[in-house]
Structure 1
Amino acid sequence: MSPSVITTVRALGARRSGPVLAALLALAVGACGSGAVPTTFDLTALPGAARSGAARRSIVVAEPVGLQPFEADRIIVREPGGAVSYLGGGQWADRLPRLVQTRVIQSLENANRLKSVSRPGDKVAADTVLITELRAFDIDAGRREAVVDLSAKLLQESSGTVVAAKVFQARVPVAEVNAAVAANGLDRALSQVLADMVRWINAGG
């Protein structure tokens, strides 16, 4: 890695955090080797909060479902005509559904309002199940926006009855359609969706 790359990363890292800093570090590492290696980006959970009131219930968070393009670890671009493609030069740190599931779980845990938050198969008794669907998690190239659209259902564990349902949406402007800007915009859009969803769940749906 050249001294100029190290200096640039240190200077920018002093002013940035989260997925942008991770992207810069990955870019610096990539500069030492082949330029064909895609930069890996992460998504962030909501920060922690002090407990407010008694823990109400336990919840299981299922992995989100979605159309086939969302099953991968690639950043998706949607063109004005409706065509969908993968954005070159970047990828998510995991399969998108699993990554979103992890950040939902961490955000609920950090809110500190539930008795427990777990995954299916953790063998933790729960009274509520959160089912979600990724309806959009992409860059709208025509509008230059990062779009996150997530539908959510709360099911009673004992009966499978839907007790509440809601759709959460966020759009964040992006200056350019490239991997770093797209990942940062989608992370910010997801943060808005997570904030709304966590409030909704903690309020009882």
Structure 2
Amino acid sequence: MILDRRALILSSLATAGLAGCADIVGPPEPPKLYRLSPRFAAVPGPSVPWALSVLRPETAGSFETERLVLTRPPSGLDFYANTAWSDRTPNLIQTALVEAFEASGRIAQVARDSDGIRADYLLNTDLRDFEARYDQGEGAPLAVIRLAVRLMETRGRRIVGTAVFAKEVRASANTVDAVVAAHTEAFSGLAADLVPWVLKAPMPK
């Protein structure tokens, strides 16, 4: 019984010591947050007479995250440590697409599907790539973005057009700040191709 009491006392002291160490170390630092803030330009041409609802992109599980994705062929997918986007990647893309159409100056009614506007067209996208690709060892990676797009009439869900838009931009350095800047530039270029393509659609019958 004496030995049991001594073991209990030693166990309690060890537990208290570990708890004290945890207090000294403290919780892990929160990740540094980054925003996707592309620059969009006006698109020449007349205003379109229809309304557009932008759906939240579909995507594979690897991009359904706030974390910044990187790939190192052939080893596969990984994430940058202690960094994150300000929202889940599909939400960032949806918001940026709405802003790109607003900046075009050619459409009066465009919103997320969750906003509930009476839209004539639905923009459905599939996010297939949104990553920093280390194709040169530890050199500056490529920011790679690829979106498959389907434009559908709201009534009847008839598909009126499909396309795949992609951009790659080499980061200026192997740093997270440079990678975020490259993603921003890549998405700006992708939107400059995607928005005029959508705006060519006629008024649905």
- TM-score using structure 1 length: 0.77
* Distance in 1 of aligned mates of 2:169 and 2:93: 18
Counterpart position of 1:88? 81
Distance across 2 between alignment mates of 1:54 and 1:188: 26
Q: Normalising by structure 2, what TM-score? A: 0.77
Q: What's the CA shift for 1:176?
A: 3.3
Letter in 2 for 1:202: L
In the TM superposition, residue 53 of structure 1 has moved relative to its aligned partner by 1.8
The equivalent of 2:135 in structure 1 is: 142
| Stretches of structure 1 lacking an aligned partner (at least 5 in a row) | 1-33
Shift of 1:203: 1.9
Partner of 2:181: 184
- 1:72 aligns with 65
Give yes or no for contact 1:87–1:178 (8 Å, CA) kept in 2. Answer: no
Q: Is the 8 A contact 1:131 1:155 kept in 2?
A: yes
Higher Cα Rg: structure 1 or 2?
2
Q: How many residues align?
A: 172
Which secondary structure state, in structure 1, belongs to the residue aligned with residue 96 of structure 2?
helix
Distance 1:157 1:50, change over 3 A: closer
Could you tell me how far apart the structure 1 residues matched to 2:75 and 2:193 are? 28
Name the counterpart of 2:20.
none
- Deviations along 1:59-84, one digit per CA (max 9) or x if unpaired, are 10000111111111111001111510
Counterpart secondary structure, 1:164: strand
Between the aligned residues of both structures, percent identity stands at 24
Q: Which residue of structure 2 lines up, in the alignment, with residue 112 of structure 1?
A: 105
For the aligned residue pairs, the C-alpha RMSD in angstroms reads 2.1
Return the letter of the residue paired with 1:49.
A
Query: Which residues of 2 match residues 52-63 of structure 1 at below 5 A?
Result: 52-63=45-56
| Equivalent residues of 2:40, 2:103 under 8 A apart | yes
Range with greater deviation from structure 2 (52-61 or 149-158): 52-61
